[in-house]
Amino acid sequence: MGNGGNGGNGGNDGNGNNESEDTTMLMAALFAIIILLLILIILFIRRCMKCRQKGASIVRYVNPGQTSIETQSTFVPDRVTIVLEEIDHTTAPQQDETPEVVVEYTNLKSYRVSLDEFVREVDSKRENDGFREEFKEIPNGLLELHFAALKKENKSRNRYKKVYPYDYCRVVLDTNDETGGTDYVNACFVHGFNYDKEYIAAQGPFTNDTLLDFWRMIWQNRCSRVVMLTNLFEGDRMKCLQYWPENHDMRFGPFIIKPDVQDVFEQFTIRRIIVEKGEERKRVTHYHFTAWPDCRVPADIDTLLEFRNVVIKDISPEDGPILIHCSAGIGRTGTFIALDTLLKEIAVADSIDVINCVSKLRQQRAFSIQTDVQYAFLQEAIVHAITHYGHLTEPFHKVDEM
């Protein structure tokens, strides 16, 4: 009997152990579920915080040892501009930099309006300083990752602090040919109204290395049209090195650049150029607008619209992207790309959304459209096209056929 009783107690002990193990497993499972729920709640709260304002977000990357470019007032009253600071290349970079992401928010909402309403809105903004206030609210800064630009081996190819191409849309050079070198150039592909990668927005070459990189980019991307919106010198400052020949051939690495035909007009020059590499030969047309002051706007809207029409005449995707540059590749370059994109849009549509266009442009080329004056000019030029040229559905020509 005693042994039987002991056996019974042993059985109870076994059941107790099993119950204890079951309880432990249940508690562990509940604990895991609670942790998972907490993580989900935290992620949900963070997402709600990001989305609580439906305006576009600003993302700025602040790098150690450098001063951010901010949208700020200059010494000129009622002007808002993005101030550029050149990088000091006299000291060699010690290491790569890592961007730190800082997110801010605006309440600005893009919206589409009819062309008639757009014309009325521009009239109103002209009277009440609306361009300036709207420009300040558009997302600005380095909005995407840009690790390639911060690598120490690429820093010498950046002229201005913070004016960097985004990793996801930067032009990547082929390093498998005899030119060698880096795959980095300070340039971004930009989607247009008609197709993706319709443009390349680029920094102007400013060193011997960037001169070669510039022609590598033109050659490898089959760019048959290059638009230059700066002069070589403005005041006492070199804005861009000359990369095309006048009377004699020029050589950049394996490329021989030969002059062909040049047509000089009052405010722009068109050059036909032959590019040779080994046995291969390509033709490039260089469209050089010479009447656009840095950080400001052309005095004559008609001439710029005429120039734009000449640039895009008979273009097709087989011509490759239009390479557009000024000095930094953001102010005049961004304004021209936005103008061309919006003019193509209104040629087939009865409405327009300027804020959305500029916001998307800045998500592909940082700091595009450098001043509020350029932003106002963009809209004034579109209104001028609408009211004088019927949306530019039928291109006007003051320049003779070439």
Domain coordinates of the chain in residue numbers? 57-392
pLDDT digits 0-9 by tens, 311-341: 999 998 899 999 999 999 999 999 999 999 9
- In Å, what is the CA distance from 348 to each residue of 112, 165, 351, 355? 15, 31, 9, 19
Active site annotation includes 326: yes
- Which residues does the chain have with pLDDT short of 70? 1-19, 44-85, 87-108, 178, 180, 391-402
Given the residues 240, 295, 326, 357, the one annotated as active site: 326
Residue 209 in tokens: 């290395």
Which residues fall within 8 angstroms of residue 68, CB to CB, at 6 or more apart?
A: 60, 62, 141, 162
- For 381, list phi and psi in degrees, rounded to 5: -65, -40
Burial zone of 356 (CB within 10 Å; 0-12 exposed, 13-18 middle, 19+ buried): middle
Report yes or no on whether pTM surpasses 0.85: no
pLDDT of residue 107: 61
pLDDT of residue 46: 62
Considering only CA atoms, give the Rg of the chain.
Answer: 29
Q: What topology does CATH give the domain 57-392?
A: Protein-Tyrosine Phosphatase; Chain A (3.90.190)
pLDDT of residue 13: 53
H helices, E strands: number in the chain: 9, 17
pLDDT of residue 245: 97
Distance (Å, whole) CA 24 – CA 183: 57
Residue type at 17 in one-letter notation: N
